[in-house]
C-alpha cells in the first residue's frame, strides 16, 4: 500500500522586487495531505489549477522531496529508500514528453527497460507484450517522431508499465487526445486496476473521466484536502441544485402562477423563456427534485409535455462549489 | 551501472546515426585545423622559423609546430568531451525526457559513463582527423611513445569527464549552454598552454592554468609524443591531473545532485 501522511511541500520562490533586487518567498503547494493507494483501486485527485495535484504526484513518484510528512510504499520510505520505491512506481503524463523522438517505439522501451535493470529475453518479451497491449506492434520499429499524438500517448503508457509498477500515477493522461482514443485509454486504465491489480492515482481536468474511472476522489484546494469520498457520494452530499427543463406548448397565467408557487414551496426558483418555435421552456432549479410535483401540476392544467430533461449536479459543480466556498 | 552505461551508449549511438548535429563534429575538427594552420603560418611567415630561447627551455623541444598542432588537437578533444558530457542532462531537460530518466532507479554514474564512452568514439575520429591534417603541416610523430601517449589520453578523458560534471551542473543552474561553455573554452584555450607555454602568461594569470586539467594533460601528452618520454617521466603531471579530477568529481557529483533537485522543483513542481 502507498501511504501519504501529513505531507507538506513548500517551494522557495525568487521574486523580482527591483532592477537587481530579488526576494525569496515561500509558497505552500501542499499542506498536511494524507491519503492511501490500495491495489486494484483507482483514486482521483481533483482540484482547480494550482491546487497541488502535480506536486503530490511528483512527491509520490520520488521526483520531489516533501518538506515534511512521510510517503511510504509497501513500508519503504520514498525519500530514504527512493531506489526501491522508484522500482515500484511509474508515472504517465499527458502531452508528448518523456519519450526519445529519434528512437523507435521498441528502442524507447528497450532503453527504459534497461534503466529499470531489465535485460535479455525477459525484456524482449515484456516489450512485445506491451506493444501488443497498446496496439503499437505494427509501428514498433518506426521512429517516435513519425507517431501521431495518440500513438505517442500509447507508447507513454507502455513506458509507464515497462517496470510492471504496482503504483501508477496518471497526470492528465488524455490531455489533447481525440475522443475515441481517450475512450480506449480509459478502458485500458480500468483494466490495469481491475485485472492487473494496480493501484492508480489519476488527475484529470476531464471530470467525466474521473467520474467514470475512480473508486474514490480526493478534492484538494490550495494544497489542502477539502473532501474525500466516492464520486456519487460527493455529488449527493453537498445538496447542490438540480435543474429541471420542461418544454410545453402554451403558458396560461394560472399555470405561470402555480409554477412560481411550486418553485417557492420547494425552496427553488423558476425561469420561463419563449423558444423560437413558439413553445415555452420552463426551468426549475432547486436543492430538491421537483419532477413529480411538476408533472402533477402540468397534468392538472391539462398541459402536454413536449420535452423533459433533468440535470443532476456533477463532480465539476462540487469542485467549483468547494473552491468558491474555500476562497470566500 | 554497466547495464545503464551500455544502454545509454547504444541510445546515443542510434540518435547520433539518425540525427546527430554533424556541425558539432565539423566545428571541433575545424577549430583544431585552424589552430594547426594558424601555428603553421605564424611560425613560417611571421616569425620566420625563429623561436624565443625560452620556448626550448620551457617546452623541452624546439619543434614548435608539433607543440602547437598537438595543443590544437588536444584542445579540440577536451572541448568535445566537456561539451557533450556536460550538455547531456540539460539536453534531456530541453527534450522533455529528464523526468522519465529521473523516475528510474538507474545510477547516474552509469548514465554519464555511457555518455562519455559514446563521446570517446566521436573524439577519436575528430582527434585523428586533426592529427592527419597536422602531419601535413609539420607534426612529427617519429619519437612517439605510443603506449604512454595512449594512457595519458585515456586518463585525460577521465579528467575532462570530471570537469564536465561541474560544467554540466553550472549549465543546469543557469539553464544555458552557449555562454557557460564558451566562456570556459575561451579561458581554457588561453591559460592551458595550447599554443604557447604557460610561463609566457603574466604571473597573476598562470595559476588559472593549473586548475584546468587540460594543462597537465597536454604537457604530459606532448612529452610522450614529441620527446617519446615514458609514463614514469610524466608522473608529476599525472598526479596533478588525478588531484584535479578528484576535486572536480567531488564538486561535480555534489553540485549535479543539487542542481537536479533544483531543476525538478522549478520545472516540474
Residue-wise DSSP of B154-182? HHHHHHHHHHHHHHHHHHHHHT-SHHHHH
Question: Which residues of chain B approach chain A closer than 8 Å at the C-beta?
Answer: 3-4, 6-8, 10-11, 14-15, 18-19, 95-97, 99-106, 261, 264-265, 268-269
φ, ψ of residue A130 in degrees (nearest 5): -70, -40
Separation CA A184–CA A177 (nearest Å): 11
pLDDT for A221 equals 80
CA distance A114 to chain B (A): 6
pLDDT for A215 equals 85
Out of A175-189, B85-99, B220-234, give the one with best mean pLDDT: B220-234
Separation CA B143–CA B58 (nearest Å): 19
Separation CA A91–CA A167 (nearest Å): 9
Place of cell 443532476: A312
Kindly determine whether residue B264 and residue A11, on different chains, have CB atoms separated by under 8 Å.
Answer: no
pLDDT for B112 equals 85
Q: pLDDT tens across A266-319, in order?
A: 777 788 888 877 888 888 877 777 888 888 888 888 888 888 887 776 666 766
**DSSP β-bridge partners for residue A227:** A219
φ, ψ of residue A36 in degrees (nearest 5): -130, 150
Residue A226 region, left (φ>0) first, then alpha (ψ -120 to 50), else beta? Answer: alpha
Q: Is the sign of the CA dihedral B12, B13, B14, B16 positive or negative? A: positive
Kindly determine whether residue A159 and residue B100, on different chains, have CB atoms separated by under 8 Å.
Answer: yes
pLDDT for A270 equals 81
pLDDT lower than 50: segments of chain A? 328
Question: Which residues of chain A approach chain B closer than 8 Å at the C-beta?
Answer: 9, 11, 29, 54-55, 58, 61-65, 82-84, 86-87, 89-91, 93, 95-103, 107, 110-112, 114-117, 119, 143, 159, 163
User: Does ipTM exceed 0.85?
Assistant: no
Percent of chain B with pLDDT over 70: 97
Greater model confidence, B262 or B21: B262
Separation CA A211–CA A202 (nearest Å): 11
pLDDT for B239 equals 94
pLDDT for A239 equals 61
Say if CB A272 and CB A250 are below 8 A apart. no
Amino acid at each position: 500500500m502507498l501511504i501519504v501522511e501529513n505531507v507538506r511541500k513548500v517551494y522557495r520562490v525568487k521574486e523580482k522586487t527591483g532592477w537587481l533586487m530579488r526576494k525569496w518567498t515561500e509558497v505552500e503547494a501542499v499542506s498536511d495531505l494524507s491519503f492511501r493507494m490500495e491495489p486494484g483501486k483507482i483514486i482521483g485527485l481533483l482540484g482547480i489549477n494550482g491546487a497541488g495535484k502535480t506536486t503530490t504526484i511528483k512527491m509520490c513518484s520520488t521526483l520531489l522531496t516533501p518538506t515534511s510528512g512521510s510517503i511510504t510504499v509497501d513500508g519503504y520510505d520514498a525519500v530514504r529508500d527512493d531506489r526501491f520505491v522508484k522500482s515500484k512506481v511509474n508515472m504517465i503524463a499527458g502531452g508528448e514528453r518523456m519519450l526519445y523522438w529519434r528512437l523507435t517505439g521498441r528502442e524507447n522501451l528497450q532503453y527504459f527497460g534497461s534503466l529499470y535493470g531489465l535485460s535479455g529475453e525477459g525484456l524482449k518479451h515484456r516489450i512485445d507484450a506491451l506493444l501488443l497491449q497498446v496496439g503499437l506492434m505494427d509501428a514498433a520499429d518506426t521512429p517516435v517522431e513519425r507517431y501521431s499524438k495518440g500513438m505517442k500517448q500509447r507508447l507513454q503508457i507502455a513506458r509507464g508499465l515497462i517496470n510492471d509498477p504496482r503504483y501508477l500515477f496518471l497526470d492528465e493522461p488524455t490531455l489533447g487526445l481525440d475522443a475515441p482514443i481517450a475512450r480506449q485509454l480509459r478502458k485500458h486504465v480500468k483494466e490495469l486496476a481491475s485485472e492487473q491489480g494496480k493501484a492508480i492515482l489519476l488527475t484529470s481536468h476531464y471530470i467525466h473521466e474521473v467520474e467514470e474511472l475512480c473508486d474514490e476522489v480526493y478534492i484538494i484546494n490550495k494544497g489542502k484536502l477539502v473532501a474525500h469520498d466516492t464520486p456519487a457520494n460527493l455529488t449527493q452530499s453537498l445538496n447542490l441544485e438540480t435543474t429541471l427543463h420542461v418544454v410545453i406548448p402554451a403558458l396560461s397565467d394560472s399555470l405561470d402562477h402555480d409554477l412560481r408557487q411550486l418553485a417557492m414551496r420547494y425552496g427553488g426558483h423558476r425561469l420561463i423563456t419563449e423558444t423560437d418555435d413558439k413553445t415555452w421552456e420552463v426551468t426549475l432549479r432547486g436543492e430538491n427534485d421537483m419532477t413529480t410535483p411538476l408533472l402533477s401540476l402540468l397534468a392538472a392544467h391539462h398541459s402536454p409535455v413536449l420535452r423533459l430533461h433533468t440535470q443532476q449536479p456533477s463532480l465539476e459543480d462540487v469542485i467549483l462549489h468547494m473552491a468558491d466556498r474555500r476562497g470566500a | 551501472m554497466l547495464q545503464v552505461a551500455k544502454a545509454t551508449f547504444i541510445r546515443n549511438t542510434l540518435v547520433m546515426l539518425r540525427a546527430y548535429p554533424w556541425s558539432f563534429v565539423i566545428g571541433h575538427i575545424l577549430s583544431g585545423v585552424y589552430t594547426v594552420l594558424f601555428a603553421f603560418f605564424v611560425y613560417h611567415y611571421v616569425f620566420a622559423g625563429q623561436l624565443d630561447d625560452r620556448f626550448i627551455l620551457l617546452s623541452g623541444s624546439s619543434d614548435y609546430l608539433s607543440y602547437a598542432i598537438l595543443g590544437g588537437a588536444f584542445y579540440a578533444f577536451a572541448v568535445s568531451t566537456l561539451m557533450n558530457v556536460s550538455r547531456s542532462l540539460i539536453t534531456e531537460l530541453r527534450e522533455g525526457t529528464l523526468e522519465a530518466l529521473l523516475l528510474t532507479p538507474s545510477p547516474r554514474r552509469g548514465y554519464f559513463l555511457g555518455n562519455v564512452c559514446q563521446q570517446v568514439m566521436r573524439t577519436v575520429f575528430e582527434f585523428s582527423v586533426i592529427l592527419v591534417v597536422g602531419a601535413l603541416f609539420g607534426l612529427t610523430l617519429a619519437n612517439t611513445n605510443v603506449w604512454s601517449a595512449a594512457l595519458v589520453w585515456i586518463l585525460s578523458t577521465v579528467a575532462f569527464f570530471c570537469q564536465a560534471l561541474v560544467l554540466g551542473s553550472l549549465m543546469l543552474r543557469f539553464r544555458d549552454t552557449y555562454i557557460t561553455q564558451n566562456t570556459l573554452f575561451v579561458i581554457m584555450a588561453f591559460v592551458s598552454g595550447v599554443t604557447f607555454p604557460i610561463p609566457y602568461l603574466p604571473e597573476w594569470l598562470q595559476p588559472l592554468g593549473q586548475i584546468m586539467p587540460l594543462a597537465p594533460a597536454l604537457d604530459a601528452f606532448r612529452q610522450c609524443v614529441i620527446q617519446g618520454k615514458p609514463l614514469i617521466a610524466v608522473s608529476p603531471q599525472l598526479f596533478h591531473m588525478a588531484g584535479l579530477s578528484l576535486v572536480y568529481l567531488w564538486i561535480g557529483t555534489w553540485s549535479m545532485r543539487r542542481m537536479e533537485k533544483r531543476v525538478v522543483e522549478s520545472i516540474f513542481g
